[in-house]
Amino acid sequence: MKASVYFSGLILLAGAGIYLLFSLNGVLMEKEEAGILVIGMITASILGGSFWFYFLEKKKKFSYRRAVLGGAGVVTSAHFLSFYYYIIYMNLCHYFTGGCLDSMGNPPENLLWGLWIALQFTFFSLLFFIGWVTVPSGVLLAMAYLYFRKKAEK
């Protein structure tokens, strides 16, 4: 369990570094973009620890194949959950404040339809936007963590 917590923290630190890099360079101009990035960091961190625990630690099979599957699984799942959590956030914000409208000035989509929207956003994000960077990054991070963990155990 200890290694999965460290892996979760490593993902959170990597995400915080990316967030700071974007913030300092002025890339994040909209409040919503910063919000989805923070939600993504937290989601990936929780999923990273969970995937590491269930794929590697619990089974006591520390192989690079499992690390690759875990890293890719974390990134793919985190994309979907981040988009869906953002839809939940927008609905709660709209319900309690009356604000948080979409870019066209409409209220956010309902939560059931939001599942389909999050799935579409995940598909297009992974294929056409930043996913082609994040999936290999997740895989490399998991492989590097496994490499250094194995090296430390020797």
| Residue 133 structure tokens | 């960077």
Distances (CA, A) of 120 to 20, 57, 113, 124: 28, 32, 11, 6
pLDDT exceeds cutoff 80 at 138: yes
CB 61 within 8 A of CB 140: no
pLDDT of res. 113: 92
Per DSSP, the residues of 74-86 read HHHHHHHHHHHHH
pLDDT exceeds cutoff 90 at 119: yes
Output 152 or 111, whichever has higher pLDDT.
Answer: 111
Q: What is the pTM of this model?
A: 0.74
pLDDT exceeds cutoff 60 at 28: no
Q: How far apart are CA 8 and CA 2, in angstroms?
A: 10
DSSP state of 54: I
- The chain-wide mean pLDDT, for the chain, equals 79
Crossing angle of the two packed helices 131-153 and 64-97, in degrees rounded to 10:
130
Confidence of residue 34 (pLDDT cuts 50, 70, 90): low
Question: In this structure, which amino acid lies at residue 127?
Answer: L
Q: What is the mean pLDDT of residues 129-134?
A: 78
Domain boundaries, given as residue ranges, for the chain: 2-153
Encode pLDDT of 58-114 as tens digits.
Answer: 777 778 888 888 888 888 888 898 889 888 888 888 888 887 777 788 888 889 999
Q: How far apart are CA 150 and CA 154, in angstroms?
A: 7
